[in-house]
Structure 1
Amino acid sequence: MHFNEREQSIIDILLQYKFYVPASKIAKQLDVSKKTVYRTINKLNENPASKPLIESKLGEGFRLNYEEYIRKKSAKESFLKNYTPVERRNQILIDLLFKAPNPIRTTDFYDKYFVSETVIYTDITVLNKRLKKHNLNIDRNGKYISIIGNEVDIRKVLINTINIFNLDNLLSKEELNHNDTEFIIDNMNRLESQLNITIPYPYNINIFSHLYILINRFRSGKVDVSKVVDKLKQPYTNLIQENKDIFQQAKNIINHFSNYLNKNLPDTEVWYLFQYLLSSRLVNNSKKEVEQVKHGLEKEITEFYIKESGKALCKNFNKEMVWEELINHIRPMINRINNNIHIKNNLLEEIKVEYEELFHIITMISQNAEQTFNLGKITEHENGYLTIYFAKYLEQMFDTKRIIIICTSGIGTSELLKVKVKKAFPNIEIVDVLSTTDFMNQFHKYNAIDFVLTTVILESFTKEVPILLVSPVFGDRDKEIVNTFIKKKCKRDLHAYIKQGFNHFL
């Protein structure tokens, strides 16, 4: 558990006494109001899973639960000692960026990590090298350190450094301010309610992170927007006209944040949030995409992906099946590229393994799209999402299987089996129902059969077509056998098809 300066000051006062200390005495020593003391102590005790850190007694005041304090302090020190260098540097970087360009005493954020001056020097060198790529610099002046640079660049590095993956678990994260978290989520819920939408993952994470950064920059740092006003006042008039409701909600939220922080936030914050919302997929309550005007560029890029992937895979794609999902990703993707907004794809590594060749095809098409349409860099996270849309379409294409059903007589039991199979697997096309004799004599007439479903053993059949032996009653075990086979065959066929296309594409 991390204590801020005021929390630690109250703990330090209570450490001096074994008996209860009145709130008025604590308030006098800290030069704050009794209300502030009560609020700070409530925050220290807000974790319901543990015993209160500070005990209270009516009419007497407050006392430190020393045993609980030692337990939490030990747990904190153990946790911080186990930080990897990368985790430590990221946390230091976030602290510095939140407070930029204000200088911080080095010991204020390094003492808790129990590291040497040599390690501190190495950390700062590594971080400075990393920041220079984003036009930012670390300034070390004696015992103080700060980050100097443009507000746009500071925000960009912050959003890429903060790594929040699960919005449902945010309230349990100790490093996040509980009140800020609840305030942000309340505003996001209000936004969704007012627009009658849902903001799906990972866009909700991006917007949450953006708003959390906003709070901490204005609370802890010194925000200079004078250098970014002109950049943000590019011709957005048409965008506002086309998305009036979204722009109005962005203004409303920034007004709420102004009141929450007790500061007049600049208009640039409305633009920032507006950009994030336009760069997100917004889904209404009927699970359809929120209607936004589709411009020529996003249509051209969508057409480009469908056409180029079709060439790569030697397949004329059914445009209607992939168009809507694809253009509804590409529209906000263009906004993200233009505004340097990045989304994370938690499934990226799995996508690379499961759809390796298809991911490479989409990546190469994206590189061509960058040049053809003069776009900025399309990240591998974006390529991962694009891969999923095409994989979904291809899997549907391979989902339909053509089969023949065989029984001893080919009449009664086979027709019953046909009905049961069709009911259990609607995507199966049953080409014919045959007796064993007819099948042996006529199989050459049937083309492109994926497998044969039979209730009798076909010992003399040697054709290279899979045969599944099932019971005439076609029970749950039989359905499981067929289902498992179809899944494996779909996967094999899909990978073979994509690999062939990939080799052709190269």
Structure 2
Amino acid sequence: MTGQEQAILGILLMTDGYISYETLAEKLNMSTRTVMRLIRSMETFLKDFSIMVEVKRRSGIRLDGAKKDLEALRQTLELEKTVNYTANDRILLILLELYQSEEFVKSYYLAYLLNVSAGTIQRDLEEARLAVEKNGVMLVSQRGEGIRLRGGLHKGRQALAKLFRRYLDLRNWSAERQDMVFLERLSGNVRKELLEFLDMQGLYRTYKLITDFDYTLTDSFLQEDFQNLVLYTHILLHFPKLKQIFTEDGKNLRLDTEAMYPRICEFARKVKKEEHIQLNKEQICDLLAVYLSMRSNESLYTVYKYDEDVHHMTLELLEDMEGELGKSLTGDRELVERLGAHLNLMFDRMHLGTMADCSDLGQLKQEYPQIYKIIEKNIDAFSKRHSLFISEGERGYIIIHILASLVEQEEENQRIRAALLCMSGIGTSRMLAQRVKKRFPRIEIVKICSAADFQEEMMLADDIDLILSTVKTEPLSIPALFISPMPDEEEFASIGNACEKIAEQKLRLSFTGNMEMERKEVQYQPDTAMRKLAWMEDILEGFSCKTLWAKNLDELYEKTAEELFRSTEKRRKFVTLMRKRGEQGCVVFREGMLLLHGRMDEELGFRVYRVQGGVDCISAGKSVKVEYVVVMVAPAQASSELLDLFSCISAELVQDEGLAEAIEAMREEEIFRRAGLLMSRDIFH
């Protein structure tokens, strides 16, 4: 049963009495004719429940059946509706729905269909838009109407064929084992939907039609290109509805002068004879365009030799793994370069008929079983997608490169760069350094200085994460702990707590959007103070405290965006950015206080919001209820001087109770005063 049919039955079950076809069509954004056709198609399904569709002139329709039968139908629909789809499943189902609809589809209908919130659907639609745009198809939205696909008919077929190819593998396919064509990507329910949409019997007939016409195709061309030809031909023959969704542009008509044109015409005659489908000249030329784009098997190990191709393949392989591993791989430039170089050499070895041998493969499986399994699965899907045979040895080296990056990221997140500040910087400081190193191996003492020589700007330039001081200091923007030259257990515990907080911040806090914190080199010039004062005035001028009502984190992002920006585009961009940050883990400074920060065009903002009732989020792997939100927005091209002003406020939230207490009490004037003092101290330090 399709999602549209489920939606119609859901409305009929909730309606007391009759409802007109027109009302149903308006609710579901369909034509009256479509509603009538769908209801007729459901009659056989409803008979299994002993239910009929009763039609009454001038009143409409209703479901006629015993109470227990109607309840059984309701439970069946609920069972189908409560399936938990992954993000990958949802995006595929959304695209299948759009490829079947000649009209606009409303987002709330998709939310009903997939049993998710409107916010989740908007995020999925953004991912779906990016997926189809890569293939020359647009996903357009129209206010009050909904969303739909648009573009040229040839591009639309190509995009759909590529979508299918992502999930199917037609090698060694037979009529008896059609279930074997699926790659291990989709849940059972989504496979069922895709099977219904694809018409597997029709696809197999197309497969046989092509191989019977020219049995050499499977051996003469790359497997991914041959599969693309089969899928495109199947779509051209058996998906006539696409003509109502996309527009014919005739761009390939000029191909009728190609030498292979008569051969494709011969295939068209075979189609007419066996499938009773007449192909016109434009369809023949479109099919020829696909055929001419196919790469011969001779190019199997040279087609990926270009650096740009290998680079894109490297990013593709890493992107597939990022979601499951929960780590940034494509952002690790060294990994991309190392893995790209390995793939280049791997193609050379394939061309020469040699294979790499990885003796550490067994040890890797034992030491990193879960990570190994995830990487292995993605390499397998990658190799099938590109028709490559990647040996065990080559896989082992790919896994080693990725594991090295994961270990480096973990070590970097754990390493704390510390400075020791003592009265003279000579005597007790050395002993203290040894005690700290012995107790906390993750702490790297990179600087020891005396109180007389101490300059915070030098600490910032050296990328210091923590200052351990045996002398009292002014409040600093860098986390600092006052300890004795011979720390006791309580002081060691406070150092350990500080390290944990810093490790979390290093992983998540970044105005640049990267997973690692990037500190910019501070340049002090004569007019630095004046520029910072101007920034401070702009920040404080727009400051405000308000109360927001939100049911969940997505709605909180949306409400915050509405408060910050007038432009719909900026709101959408801000919500998308915050969701991506949230997927990596929300930044909660202290219990119940969430930080939202980022760079947005020319925008500048500092706001504090109380969240009525609170919302749940994930921080450091734990569920946390957020009751307060601190928002900091800087321009996209913001200087390090402006970012320093925001940083001193966020640092105060970690180190000092005063500002946090003022926020919890929503004392707007005190928050304003404290923020001003903090920024002034940063300017005139």
Query: TM-score, length-normalised on structure 1?
Result: 0.42
Question: What TM-score do you get using the length of structure 2 for normalisation?
Answer: 0.33
Q: Could you say which structure has the greater relative contact order, defined with CA pairs below 8 angstroms and 6 or more residues apart?
A: 1
